[in-house]
């Protein structure tokens, strides 16, 4: 991958440059569309991208400091979501110049939201076993199959689709990667409600959906390699956590472009005042510790030990991310390690807060006598060990690709996909 090549600008220079840019451009009366376009024009929507893709070629560390500065200055951050996290860097790495010019600018200015059409009911952990078919029809492909666990699918304008184009080839070689329009006949999106009460995932049914050959990212049959680029970005992003910057939903379906950025900042402040929890990082850690002190639970030696283990885990995860940014120290498994850390940190936060609040952790919203977000966080904490690749898959990858352990037994890798036993 080519993203994240370090520029010569120092971290201090980055902070100064971003601070000066905010001083020159921030105005609470601007619409979100105007603000995001200004950010995109300045190369600040995704500065890790190379200049050819609308970025600055900054390192992850430099971009992280820029995002933290935006959070500290209380301005709206760049367009969030899978377009920025996955689509833009994947297309920048594997797309043609025409695809980069066509797809990436509407991501950077927030006009298009994206989703990831990878997992299927019988191909989640074994993604290479996917059965969604794309059949050539002149200059187009007709796609049929089912995808599931599609994050923000009901808000997406485009999807990153992996489909089987050559079933007579081995399963890892017969897939291709497309950018597909979601708003079309042949694409049915059914949102899934989580036990938290939120709707984040969808299942997507494809029945003769059309995608142009011009929208194939990478070569025919090279979908597995392109998909692994996307998965690497996903695992790294999940493990890195949130910067705390104020965000707004991108895309034509959310249609936030005419909202003033000042009103978005005000709405975010109201949510935080109403008990909205930050992501699982140091801010949430201090929130839990303050609650333990308030309830007089800090004399419990077992709880104190669990709190210190959580604190240590947060710092070890931070050091792993720093190692990932230093090319000379990489093992190749840092994204998978970060993904494992993220799942474990969610579980530790869950266990610590339940020991602090005890039975009150079963009460949600206004019923809670301690913190109204706890029950929702506890219910959500099971998810990170599954989405984005299960913990077991991350360990398999580390064992095989980093430690050199033998791969799990299975059919010969050269067996044509059509001859493999299928899960039904």
What is the set of active-site residues? 234
- As given in the structure block, the two tokens for residue 390 are 């299960």
The three-state DSSP-derived secondary structure of 151-162 is ECHHHCCEEEEE
Intra-chain end-to-end CA distance of the chain, in Å: 36
Please give the Cα distance from 71 to 393 (Å, whole number): 34
* DSSP assignment of 266-314: HHHHHHHHTTPPPPTTHHHHHHHHHHHHHTT-TT-HHHHHHHHHHHHHH
Task: Give residue 323's Cα distance to chain centre.
Answer: 20
The answer to whether 420 and 171 are in contact (CB under 8 A) is yes
- Which token pair is 187? 């694409």
Q: HSE on the CB side for 16, CA within 13 Å?
A: 5
Using a 10 angstrom Cβ sphere, with 0-12 exposed, 13-18 middle and 19 or more buried, the burial of residue 303 is middle
Cβ pair 131, 422 in contact under 8 A: yes
| Cβ 245 vs Cβ 39: under 8 Å | no
Give CA–CA dist 340/192, Å, rounded.
Answer: 25
Handedness of CA 92, 94, 97, 100 (dihedral sign): negative
Structure tokens that stand for 53 in this block: 């893709």
């200049």: which residue's tokens? 51
- Spell 10-48 as b/e; 16+ CB within 10 A means b: eeeebbebbeebbeebbeeebebbbbbbbbbeebbbbbb
């Amino acid at each position: 991958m080519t993203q994240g090549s370090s520029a010569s600008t120092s971290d201090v220079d980055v902070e100064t440059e971003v601070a000066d840019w905010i001083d020159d451009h921030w105005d609470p009366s601007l619409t979100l569309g105007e603000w995001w376009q200004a950010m995109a024009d300045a190369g600040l929507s995704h500065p890790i991208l190379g200049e050819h893709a609308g970025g600055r070629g900054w390192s992850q560390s430099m971009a992280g400091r820029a995002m933290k500065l935006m959070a500290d200055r209380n301005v709206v951050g760049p367009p969030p979501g899978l377009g920025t996290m996955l689509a833009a860097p994947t297309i920048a790495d594997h797309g043609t110049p025409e695809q980069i010019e066509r797809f990436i600018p509407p991501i950077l200015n927030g006009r298009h939201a994206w989703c990831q059409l990878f997992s299927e009911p019988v191909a989640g952990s074994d993604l290479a076993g996917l059965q969604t078919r794309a059949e050539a029809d002149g200059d187009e492909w007709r796609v049929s199959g089912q995808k599931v666990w599609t994050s923000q699918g009901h808000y997406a304008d485009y999807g990153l689709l992996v489909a089987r184009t050559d079933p007579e080839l081995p399963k890892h070689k017969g897939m291709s990667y497309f950018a597909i329009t979601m708003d079309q006949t042949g694409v049915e999106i059914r949102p899934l409600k989580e036990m938290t009460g939120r709707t984040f995932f969808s299942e997507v049914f494809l029945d003769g959906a059309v995608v142009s050959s011009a929208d194939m990212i990478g070569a025919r049959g090279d979908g597995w390699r392109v998909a692994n680029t996307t998965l690497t970005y996903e695992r790294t992003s999940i493990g890195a956590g949130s910067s705390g910057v104020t965000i707004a939903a991108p895309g034509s379906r959310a249609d936030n472009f005419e909202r003033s950025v000042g009103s978005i900042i005000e709405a975010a402040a109201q949510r935080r005042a109403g008990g909205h929890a930050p992501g699982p990082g140091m801010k949430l850690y201090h929130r839990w510790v303050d609650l333990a002190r308030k309830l007089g639970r800090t004399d419990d030696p077992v709880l104190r030990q669990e709190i210190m283990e959580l604190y240590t885990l947060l710092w070890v995860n931070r050091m792993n991310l720093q190692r990932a940014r230093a090319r000379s120290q990489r093992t190749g498994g840092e994204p998978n390690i970060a993904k494992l850390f993220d799942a474990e940190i969610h579980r530790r936060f869950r266990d610590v807060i339940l020991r602090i609040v005890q039975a009150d952790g079963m009460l949600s919203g206004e019923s809670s006598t301690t913190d109204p977000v706890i029950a929702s966080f506890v219910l959500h904490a099971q998810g990170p060990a599954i989405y984005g690749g299960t913990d077991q898959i991350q360990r398999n990858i580390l064992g095989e690709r980093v430690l050199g352990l033998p791969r799990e037994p299975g059919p010969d890798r050269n067996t044509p996909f059509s001859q493999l036993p299928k899960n039904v």
